[in-house]
Structure 1
């Protein structure tokens, strides 16, 4: 006598749904990277990672590495432009950096930007009208732009979706931001922020290098997303063409 078929819907409700809920609770599936995951490249395996596809994991790692690159840029900019953090109430540059990271990672407004975020904040941070800490505003603007382009999240799971066009646009915005950083000047012709330098004393293109890394990661993720959706359609068409039946046991 054959075994009785399992009721798949009842099985899912009884075992799978509670199991997934438990993984979400244990893993802290909040959609936002904790600071240790951003600062350190190695972090212990979390149960919630079982709810990530390969693309989800790739997007999460790319976001973590892009924020790391952004924070290195911020540190470099403060080293060359110490006058900027002194415009704020922070005791030193390190305190300013921690506050900016917190605002980016926890989706909070930056006080001197008047509620502006992402592209609006980016343009304002390097405009003559802005009088505050430009390093803080510029860094926050890029960070909020990256998060917005990824649907307001920094961690990604099976239930999340991506818009490849927005991520592509973020890459192009970073290219423009790099150009603005090198070329925006005040009324006296001085750079608003000192960054890349090529002179008789030597060259410093480390800022451009970090921008290039971020752009490359975003472009790669864009191509992966486009290919994933294209392959989904191709696989479906192949199944129809080959008349493949689905397994029943």
Structure 2
């Protein structure tokens, strides 16, 4: 799911494109997966996967911290990619405007 948001690429170069909507959707999917891990129960009302801690133990939120970092990374990359397109347009306009002047 996360690799699909990067078009299944392992390396990125200057002209590689990433879709910000895929990154955003991936972050939301991670949130859903985290919720499902915490909420799913079997027929005996036991957690299918222990994502926090066993009853009676001190609460272990290390999984939540890791998942939160993954969500934040996807969200931040989505914001950067969406802003990058505006920067490219701005850079082209500035280059065209500066070409009106002769070099000294």
TM-score (norm 1): 0.38
Other-structure match for 1:244: 98
- 1:171 partnered with 2:20: no
Gaps of 5+ in 1: 1-144
Other-structure match for 1:27: none
Alignment partners' CA distance in 1, 2:39 and 2:20:
29
Q: Render the CA deviation track for 1:2-58: whole Å, top value 9, x for unaligned.
A: xxxxxxxxxxxxxxxxxxxxxxxxxxxxxxxxxxxxxxxxxxxxxxxxxxxxxxxxx
Other-structure match for 1:158: 14
Alignment partners' CA distance in 2, 1:159 and 1:245:
24
Other-structure match for 2:68: 212
TM-score (norm 2): 0.84
Q: How does 1:172-191 map to 2 (within 5 A)?
A: 172-191=28-47
- How many residues in Structure 1 have an aligned counterpart in Structure 2? 102
Q: Render the CA deviation track for 1:155-202: whole Å, top value 9, x for unaligned.
A: 111342110110111011001110000001112211111121385531
Higher Rg of the two aligned structures: 1
Change over 3 Å in CA distance of 1:234–1:198 after alignment to 2: farther
Q: How does 1:94-173 map to 2 (within 5 A)?
A: 145-173=1-29
| RMSD across aligned positions (CA) | 2.1
Give how far 1:236 is off. Answer: 2.8
Alignment partners' CA distance in 2, 1:235 and 1:200:
58
SS at match of 1:153: coil
Judging by fraction of residues, say which structure has more helix.
Answer: 1
Q: Which runs of 4+ in 1 moved over 3 A?
A: 198-201, 237-240
Give how far 1:231 is off. Answer: 1.1
- Relative contact order, CA 8 A, sep 6+: which one is greater? 2
Alignment partners' CA distance in 1, 2:47 and 2:98:
64
Other-structure match for 2:52: 196
